[in-house]
Amino acid sequence: MLSTMQDVPLTVTRILHHGMTIHGSSQVTTWTGGSEPERRSFAEVGARATRLAGALRDELGVGADERVATLMWNNADHLEAYLAVPSMGAILHTLNLRLPAEQLIWIVNHAADRVVIANGSLLPLLAPLLPHLPTVEHVVVSGPGDRAPLDAVTGQGRVRVHEYEELIAGRPATFDWPELDERAGAAMCYTSGTTGDPKGVVYSHRSIYLHSMQANMGESMGLTDRDTTLIVVPQFHVNAWGLPHATFMVGVNMLMPDRFLQPAPLAEMIETERPTHAAAVPTLWQGLLAEVTERPRDLTSMARVTIGGSACPPALMAAYDKLGVRLCHAWGMTETSPLGTTSNPPSGLTADEEWPYRITQGRFPAGVEARLAGPGGDFLPWDGESAGELEVRGPWIAGAYYGGAGAEPFRPEDRFSPDGWLRTGDVGVISPDGYLTLTDRAKDVIKSGGEWISSVALENALMAHPEVAEAAVVAVPDEKWGERPLATVVLKDGAAPDYAALKEFLAGSIAKWQLPERWAVVRAVPKTSVGKFDKKVIRKQYAEGELEVTLV
């Protein structure tokens, strides 16, 4: 028996229409660094997105399934592209502006982008790439910035350059939106390419719609039109964790930082604009904490922060608790759209009773199924003790990569199981009530004498020390044990290295056999383009003798 329900496709177009009409008075505020931010209502954003769709189709000839790339900061113009491009049947492709030039070239060519919408301030980055991008025919420039870097390109005549505002000016605020298949591609992001070339993930209209609904549920971010969210996580990184679409769906006001991502302007915009929610990786909140510790600001409007991308040190959570800001762990990845878990403790608990739940990665929502694979391929129980590689599946989780495997040495079977589950590469345990605790990345776990040592546990314990600003731990070769941990630490200003004291501090919470013998002080922990610790760089520095290592 079939149901009697209407079969209405779940599309980004419906998010656009709903947000601009039902929530038309909600605001998008873009920080400008000047005396007054730029403000647009959802109704205005929707009307401009409609004009943009018309211009892309009529002026630039963009058709169904063609890729429109963006090289942009978090701002209202970028949001308009988020809504317009998928809704017209094309594919939004956000480019990570922090990737090396050779990776950006590879990604654009692999995706066969036809149009690039770029902020004016990023033209010095884009212009040198264009001679190597044969599929790009149009560049649309948005916002302030020197256009001179494009002069050489326009002189060749291969690439046409357009001004964003001129392109949409005078166009009708109506568009003949196509009725799209909800399973059609809507947006694509590439992984950061830590192994082999970056790999493309194509999100469907259906996956974006369902992920947006989940993000808005109380067990996830739980935002409403009474909230304002500061979207710090870049729009080029997993669709800003799904926030632009999710917030437009329910009328959440958006505060966009544009290029002002340093701790001082972020502190100023929080105190001035009073957001109630924010989202970003732990390294950003560590920088903001140092800023407001030295120059106090009122952050109390920001009652809740979603924090993910890497494990959040418990000491950082405790420090923000004292400021009246609650950090909420989440876990996900490019392949999971990204929300896979959110760490909301069960109801009815005291603050002390909540703490063990808060420091986990959180609980799986109804749309995400999970299992733990043991080293021998067997599946492990959810007992909070059995550690294995996390595998997941669900309606907003990738089952393949765009264009196949990408470059060697990557193999699809390394990431997807024979029965279609995503192998995340994360190692952890799951409690009987579904709370995930990650102990490491499979590639970062330290295999010492046949036992596993969690680099994340060591890092979190080190970063609880009052003189440690950051810490990263990696496995290094050891003749006796196979591998042993190397601890690299960034000390706070004025602190002197005392490795014996740090080792003694660790001994209060870490088993003696897991304590590092090798120590080094570094000026900064290397980070990837999305702010995660780049441990392959540390391993390379150690192998090549670039670190001053002390044995303790």
CATH code (residue 376) = 2.30.38.10
> What number of H helices and E strands is found in the chain?
18, 27
Q: Are residues 420 and 537 in the same domain?
A: no
Q: Which of 159, 184, 203 is where one domain is finished?
A: 203
Q: Are residues 170 and 56 in the same domain?
A: yes
What tokens appear for 492 in the block? 């706070």
Contact yes or no for 485/518 (Cβ under 8 A)? yes
Instruction: Give me the residue label for tokens 């038309």.
Output: 24
Q: Are residues 39 and 178 in the same domain?
A: yes
Q: Are residues 466 and 427 in the same domain?
A: no
Q: Which of 441, 474, 504 is where one domain is finished?
A: 441
Measured CA to CA, the distance from residue 483 to residue 520 in angstroms comes to 17
Q: Are residues 465 and 432 in the same domain?
A: no
Q: In this structure, is residue 261 part of a structural domain?
A: no
Beta-strand relationship, 451-453 and 446-448:
antiparallel
- 443 given a catalytic annotation: no
Contact yes or no for 494/538 (Cβ under 8 A)? no
Q: In this structure, is residue 18 part of a structural domain?
A: yes
What is the maximum span of the chain, computed from C-alpha positions, in angstroms?
73
Q: Are residues 427 and 493 in the same domain?
A: no
Kind and range of the H or E run holding 371? strand 369-373
Q: What pLDDT shows up at residue 403?
A: 85
Q: Are residues 62 and 195 in the same domain?
A: yes
- Angle between helix axes 282-294 and 263-273 (nearest 10 degrees) is 80
Residue 491, SS3? strand
Instruction: Give me the residue label for tokens 């609904």.
Output: 213
Measured CA to CA, the distance from residue 287 to residue 360 in angstroms comes to 22
Measured CA to CA, the distance from residue 101 to residue 313 in angstroms comes to 32
Q: Are residues 406 and 475 in the same domain?
A: no
Q: Are residues 119 and 135 in the same domain?
A: yes
Measuring CA to CA, which residue among 399, 416, 253 is closest to residue 337?
399
What tokens appear for 180 in the block? 């799209």
Identified catalytic residue from 452, 481, 483, 527: 452
What CATH number has the domain bearing residue 99? 3.40.50.12780
Q: Which of 413, 441, 469 is where one domain is finished?
A: 441
pTM: 0.88
What tokens appear for 497 in the block? 């290295």
Q: What pLDDT shows up at residue 410?
A: 46
Measured CA to CA, the distance from residue 67 to residue 88 in angstroms comes to 11
Contact yes or no for 125/98 (Cβ under 8 A)? no
Measuring CA to CA, which residue among 391, 461, 394 is closest to residue 426?
391
Q: In this structure, is residue 357 part of a structural domain?
A: yes
Q: In this structure, is residue 329 part of a structural domain?
A: no
Q: How many domains does the chain have?
A: 3
Identified catalytic residue from 443, 447, 492, 540: 447
Question: Which value, to the nearest 10 degrees, does the dihedral of the CA atoms of residues 361, 366, 367, 372 take?
Answer: 50
Identified catalytic residue from 191, 229, 334, 437: 191
Q: What pLDDT shows up at residue 402?
A: 94
pLDDT < 50: residue spans in the chain: 405-410
Contact yes or no for 437/431 (Cβ under 8 A)? yes
Q: How many residues does the chain have?
A: 552
Q: Are residues 468 and 400 in the same domain?
A: no
Measured CA to CA, the distance from residue 102 to residue 65 in angstroms comes to 25
Q: What pLDDT shows up at residue 124?
A: 96
CB-based contacts of 4: which residues, under 8 Å, 6+ apart? none
Q: Are residues 423 and 536 in the same domain?
A: no
Q: In this structure, is residue 39 part of a structural domain?
A: yes
Q: Are residues 394 and 427 in the same domain?
A: yes
User: Could you tell me the residue range of the domain that residue 105 belongs to?
Assistant: 12-203
- 322 given a catalytic annotation: no
Q: What pLDDT shows up at residue 411?
A: 53
Q: In this structure, is residue 522 part of a structural domain?
A: yes
- 191 given a catalytic annotation: yes
What secondary structure, in 3-state letters, does 33-50 show?
CCCCCEEEEHHHHHHHHH
What CATH number has the domain bearing residue 531? 3.30.300.30
Residue 420 is given by DSSP the state S
Kind and range of the H or E run holding 357? helix 351-358
What are the φ/ψ torsions at residue 163 (nearest 5 degrees)? -90, 130
Q: In this structure, is residue 412 part of a structural domain?
A: yes
Beta-strand relationship, 185-190 and 91-94:
parallel
Q: In this structure, is residue 482 part of a structural domain?
A: yes
CB-based contacts of 95: which residues, under 8 Å, 6+ apart? 69, 70, 71, 104, 107, 108, 116, 236
Kind and range of the H or E run holding 518? strand 518-521
Angle at 64 between CA 61 and CA 70, to 5 degrees: 70
Contact yes or no for 158/139 (Cβ under 8 A)? no
